[in-house]
Structure 1
Amino acid sequence: MTGRDFLIFMACCLGWGGNFVLSAWVVGSNPVPPFMLALFRSGIVLLVMGVFLFRPLPESFGRLLIVGFCVGPAHLGFLYTGLQTAPASASSIISQALIPMTTVLSVLFLKERIGWVRSVAICVSLLGVMIMVYEPGALSLDRGMMLLLCAYVALAIGSVLMRTVPNVDWRQYVAWTALMVFTLSLPATALFETGHAVAWETAGWKLVVVALYAALFVSVFAHGQYFRLLQTYEVSQVVPLSLMTTVWACLLGVLMLNETLYPRYIIGALLILPCVWIIARRGTIPPVQED
């Protein structure tokens, strides 16, 4: 990866880390319906990037829509709903489950190969995820953390599928993903959510700030560059660098929201973070050449 692309991806991680904190700040402390926020966010993206919808459709348009659904409506729906109860810092840590999940999917579908060290790291990191989502003293899993885990399962699937969508401009990808989010969020918020007027009264300018930040810095810049980088480099080279998202989110969560990391979050993090670092540092074993 070039130095320029590396710095661009570090800026993407900063954007994602800040999005955890700002989204939790709004949907966690104010009665903001999650799909309403997703609708507002996607509407802003369409105003900025909607012109790219009118370009000629790419050859792999159907697959592009599948990627857009995974990264857009599925990911955001679970993410915003989970952030209503899950702390931003712990949420950013569980987001690192994206790394082992994409690694496994890249082996299954992209025929990448990993060694035994990476395999052990994947298993231990997934154990850390389970520790984080389990709620002690109850016979159930923490709902917010489980929803966040589902959000990153969807993102992992979309990330791997991005490698199979050739010759698509990242701006066209951003525009079509925003259209899918807008199209699905509109009936979802109308049918399943209430309190829209109350949300505007209580959240007000906070909702506008978060929606603008998520639309411009996250959807347009971070997701757009993420799509471009996954078309340029291997999944196993790009995705592990998202480890920096947790660093930024934890730092911003402590500074801005005065959050506390509970023991199960700390234990899970101690298992997940070293393992994803191992996964990131280990080189990919080239596939066996067939005769």
Structure 2
Amino acid sequence: MRARDFLLLVLICLIWASNNVLSKIIVDDWAVPPIFYAALRFSVVALVMLPWLLPMPRPAWRIILIGLLMGGGNFALLFIGLQTTSPSSAAIILQLGVPFTILLSVLMLGERIHWRRGVGIGLTLLGVLFVVWRPEGLTLSLGLWFVAAAAFAGSAGAVLMKRVQDVSPFRFQAWVGLVSVISLPVASLLFEEGQWASALAVGWPLVAAVLFTSLIVSVGAHSAYYHLIRNYEANLLAPLTLITPLATIALGVLITNDAFDFRMGVGAALAIGGVLIVALRRKPATELLVDREQR
């Protein structure tokens, strides 16, 4: 990999990591309702990606389901979870997305799990167990349940994307944005209150944050990563994207004062090590999807 492209990948991972911490600040410190925040983010994405909307990928039901899973199902659930959990813990729990993707690929795409993948899945699950372990037993807080659900939704959407042929990443983003901007405001009206009051209370910092997460993260960083995918093998890129959870943990400790003890360190090492084993395996049908579980 050329040095310029490596630095670009590092920048992308740092943007993804900073987005995780910023989202925590938005939904927790600023008390912006998480579904409403997700709706604002995808409204901007849908507007920017509008030129790539047509023609609609077929079948229509599949692209709509992908939009629901990748938008409300993934990001909204993650933002709900971040209200009550730290970015560091969320970054580790999100590694469940990799075994989720592989297991769903077995069920939906007919893939087979070889011993090396099995070891990677086992290590990832063991790492997550270390994170949720307490002296009195295993405890998974409500926030971490939402994060785990977000990982599952993102994995299901990513596997479904493999069933859609000849659709550009920009068209996928356009439809995820459109489906999200239709569904998320409805969900916010049903389950949240005081949305605009909280937004107005924060003011311009929220506007800047939404523009950053939608334009810099969703449109900019994701598009730059798709550019790298066209030029390098996925089994080279996927391990390097593990910079994202590591940077999220570091930024969480520095910015949001996340507690990070020996137990979480062991859990992070095991979970990320398991993901690395999966990512380094050559020619899996899901290797292009592994990167989605790091963001």
TM over 0.5: yes
What's 2:24 paired with?
A: 24
What's 1:147 paired with?
A: 146
Identity %: 38
CA distance in 2, matches of 1:276, 1:65: 29
CA distance in 2, matches of 1:148, 1:168: 28
Alpha-carbon offset, residue 65 of structure 1: 2.2
What are the superposed Cα offsets for residues 121-148 of structure 1, whole Å, 9 maximum, x if unpaired? 2112112223324565478521111110
> Taking structure 1 as reference, are residues 266 and 122 closer, same or farther at Cα in structure 2, changes over 3 Å only?
same
CA distance in 2, matches of 1:67, 1:26: 26
What's 2:274 paired with?
A: 275
Alpha-carbon offset, residue 8 of structure 1: 5.7
Helix, strand or coil for the counterpart of 2:49? helix
> Taking structure 1 as reference, are residues 271 and 85 closer, same or farther at Cα in structure 2, changes over 3 Å only?
same
Helix, strand or coil for the counterpart of 2:241? helix
What's 1:164 paired with?
A: 163
Helix, strand or coil for the counterpart of 1:86? coil
> Taking structure 1 as reference, are residues 250 and 155 closer, same or farther at Cα in structure 2, changes over 3 Å only?
same
8 A contact 1:102–1:235 mirrored in 2: no
8 A contact 1:92–1:246 mirrored in 2: yes
Alpha-carbon offset, residue 80 of structure 1: 0.6
CA distance in 2, matches of 1:52, 1:257: 37
Bigger shift: residues 212-221 or 79-88: 212-221
8 A contact 1:52–1:175 mirrored in 2: yes
What are the superposed Cα offsets for residues 160-194 of structure 1, whole Å, 9 maximum, x if unpaired? 22222111122221111111111111111112111
Segments of 5+ residues of structure 1 without an aligned counterpart are: 287-291
Q: Establish whether residue 37 from structure 1 lines up as the match of residue 73 from structure 2.
A: no
What's 1:189 paired with?
A: 188
CA distance in 2, matches of 1:191, 1:18: 30
CA distance in 1, matches of 2:85, 2:29: 11
What's 2:83 paired with?
A: 84
Alpha-carbon offset, residue 11 of structure 1: 4.2
What's 1:132 paired with?
A: 131
Give RMSD over aligned pairs: 3.1
CA distance in 2, matches of 1:143, 1:185: 21
8 A contact 2:235–2:280 mirrored in 1: no
Query: Residue type of the partner of 1:249?
Result: T
Alpha-carbon offset, residue 205 of structure 1: 2.7
Query: Residue type of the partner of 2:16?
Result: W
Q: Establish whether residue 199 from structure 1 lines up as the match of residue 184 from structure 2.
A: no
CA distance in 2, matches of 1:136, 1:110: 40
What are the superposed Cα offsets for residues 89-117 of structure 1, whole Å, 9 maximum, x if unpaired? 22112222222222333344334444313
Alpha-carbon offset, residue 232 of structure 1: 9.5
For these two proteins, the number of residue pairs brought into alignment is: 285
